[in-house]
Amino acid sequence: MSDKYGKGSEMKNLKSLFGRNNAVNLSFVLLRAAAAFCFLLSGQGFGRVIDLKGQWNDQIPLENPHKGWYHHFPDNGLHHYIIAKDTDLTEFPGMDHLYIRLAWSYLEPHEGQFNWDIIDQMIEKWTTHNLGISFRISCLETTINRIEQQFATPKWVMEAGAKGGFSSGGKQNGSWEPVFDDPIFLAKLENFLKAFAQRYDGKPWLRYVDVGSIGPWGEGHSKTPYNYEQRKVHVDLHLKYFKKSPLVISDDFVYTVPDKQERIKLHQYIVDSGIGYRDDSPLVNGTLGSYADTYSVRSPEFFEAVYRNRLTVFELEHYGKVKSQGNWTAEPGSMMAAHAPGKDGPEFFRRSLELLHATYIGYHGDAHEWLTDNPELTVELLNRCGYWYFPHSAELPESIRGGQELSVAIVWENRGVAPAYNPYDIVLRLKGPDSVTVNMPSGNERWLPSKEKGTIRQEYRMRLPSLAAGEYDLGLKLYSPQAARTVYLGLDPQIMDKEHFYRIGTVKVTE
């Protein structure tokens, strides 16, 4: 199996070939052409090209593994963004998982005594609906009018001697903020992360774990400056215990490093450690005003540096807040109208998604409200996040003898904003007087977005058993062994059968 890139790459290769020794290279090309012609005559080569572009369908929602929408719940406590009806999620196009952001104090109310039930109940319920879970465990929340949020880091950590203070000028009615590099705090946090990872790391439903142990909501902000070494300790604690599930980190966690050189150093450490990024800033009023030229994405270079080999995550500013501020519809007087005339919230979401190369996307609000307001946009963004595969053409032989090797070449396009980070099989099936099905690696992990790489030509070879002579339909599908799910293509579902094979052409099998 081999892969080639589009016409530009092929022309570059030809120019390189003839630019050295014309006579020798021309002879080489003619010999290759003669060999290919003999191969075709033997019935084993590519006799025709089937154009599949007429079968494209880019309007239907494709609910595929390892990508899609997520719902942010819980958030700032146990009662924010509660799902009103299960169907708000189960009938939401492409809903992939719940993002659970919860304070440490809920899960370890007393030292060494863990209250896993609080999240296990959510996990048990929603995984039975085939949804996944992701986590961020915070050590500081800021909502003072909820007494349960005063100690996001458990109160017993303070009582054990960890340094910290209250947010309301030292008065004990504000949120308690630990000193995030205090050795007692770090020792207690490490014990928690170890127990948390032992219980959940590598679970098949766990999409990723978000490093969020500094600052309000875990985004890294703090009045006390924490530079590279202090933040690296927190990153390393997560790397130490989460060995199987992906890790991501807010770009704010890195960007809020006060010293620019230290910030660059921490970003490089994130890149080198294989951690992905998430962005919580799109359409936040302040970032919209300051970074309208990059659609309120402050650090697109962070995401550009990592997306080719690890996932990234997009989180909209709270959707209800975006609406109330007038930014979604660019109302007169809104920050959107002032700083991005002619644009609106949906346009910013689309462009932010491209800059972030996000595989998972969230609206940060009420699922029913979002979908009611944005039904077409929901489908559009679902398809565009992560990968989105379209086969342009299939090269097949006109005929083949049973017992020989069948060669098929597919020209693929990834119209999404990111590659897939999981390998998928291509499954080829010949069905006629007999039937044969073959699975093999598709090579999909190399299919970068077409805006970067164009189309990709991939060859597949299947050894055929002895088959009865006759005409056979050739079907194909992509399949995820890890998720045990079909990976749907941007093709008309009318050419797909009940076993999820797309019929792409016929092959004649001779005696």
DSSP string, 194-219: HHHHHHHTT-TTEEEEEE--SSGGGS
Q: Is residue 426 part of a domain?
A: yes
The CATH code of the domain that includes 129 is 3.20.20.80
Does 199 reside within a domain? yes
Q: What is the pLDDT of residue 77?
A: 77
* Least confident range of 76-85, 351-360, 453-462: 76-85
Average pLDDT over residues 299-304: 97
Rounded to whole angstroms, how far apart are CA atoms 49 and 26? 26
Give the DSSP letter of residue 496.
B
| Predicted confidence band of residue 146 (pLDDT cuts 50, 70, 90) | low
Burial class for 333, CB neighbours closer than 10 Å (0-12, 13-18, 19+): exposed
Compute CA 56 distance to the chain's CA centroid, rounded to the nearest angstrom: 23
Q: Is residue 12 predicted with pLDDT exceeding 50? A: no
Domain that holds residue 238: 68-384
Domain check: are 398 and 368 in the same one?
A: no
DSSP code at position 242: -
Listing DSSP states for 53-121 in one string gives GGGB--SS----TT-EEEEE-S-SSSSSS--SSTHHHHTSTTEEEEEEEEEHHHH-SBTTB--THHHHH
Given pLDDT bands bounded at 50, 70 and 90, which one contains residue 143?
A: low
CATH number at residue 454: 2.60.40
Residues 313, 264 within the same domain: yes
Percent helix / strand / coil, the chain, rounded to 5? 35, 25, 40
End position of a domain, from candidates 346, 361, 384 = 384
Average pLDDT, the chain: 90
Report the percentage of the chain scoring pLDDT > 70.
89
| Confidence (pLDDT) at 424 | 98
Classify residue 22: in a domain, yes or no. Answer: no
The answer to the question of residue 479 being in a domain is yes
Residues 251, 140 share a domain = yes
Whether 427 and 369 share a structural domain: no
Map tokens 């909820």 to a residue.
146
- Tokens at 222, concatenated: 């703090």
In a domain, 55, yes or no: yes
Higher pLDDT, residue 38 or 324: 324
Q: Is the domain of 46 the same as that of 136?
A: no
Asked if residue 407 and residue 284 are part of one domain, the reply reads no
Q: Please tell me the predicted confidence (pLDDT) of residue 147.
A: 53
- State the CB neighbour count (10 A cutoff) for residue 73: 20
pLDDT of residue 476 exceeding 70, the answer is yes
- Domain limit, last residue, from 331, 354, 384: 384
Give the other-Cβ count within 10 Å of 258's Cβ: 11
Q: Please identify, among 323, 353, 384, the residue that sits at the C-terminal boundary of a domain.
A: 384
Which pLDDT does position 28 carry in this prediction? Answer: 34
Give the Cα separation of 332 and 252 in Å (integer).
30
Residues 356 and 395 in one domain: no
Burial class (CB in 10 A: 0-12, 13-18, 19+), 292: middle
- Examine the domain organization and report whether 315 and 377 are in the same domain: yes
Average pLDDT, integer, range 120-143: 94
> Cα–Cα distance between 277 and 270 in angstroms, integer?
9
| C-alpha to C-alpha distance for 454 and 434, rounded to whole angstroms | 37
Q: Is the pLDDT of residue 16 over 90?
A: no
Structurally, the chain folds into a number of domains equal to: 2
Contact 267, 303 (CB under 8 A): no
Confidence of residue 3 (pLDDT cuts 50, 70, 90): very low
Assess if residue 25 is contained within a domain: no
Q: Is residue 311 a part of any domain in this protein? A: yes
- Tell me the C-alpha distance between 70 and 407, whole Å: 40
pLDDT given for residue 402 in this prediction: 84
Q: Is the pLDDT of residue 296 over 70?
A: yes
Hey, what long-range contacts does 55-59 have (CB within 8 A, 24 or more apart)? Answer: 55/491, 55/492, 55/495, 55/502, 56/390, 56/490, 56/491, 56/492, 57/490, 57/491, 57/492, 57/493, 58/383, 58/390, 58/415, 58/490, 59/379
**Do both 320 and 224 map to the same domain?**
yes
- Note whether residue 23 is domain-resident: no
Mean pLDDT of the 373-395 span: 98
Pick 403 or 132 by higher pLDDT: 132
172 in the same domain as 106: yes
Digit-coded pLDDT (tens) for 448-458: 999 888 999 99
Both 320 and 407 in a single domain?
Answer: no
In this structure, the answer to whether residues 305 and 353 fall within a common structural domain is yes
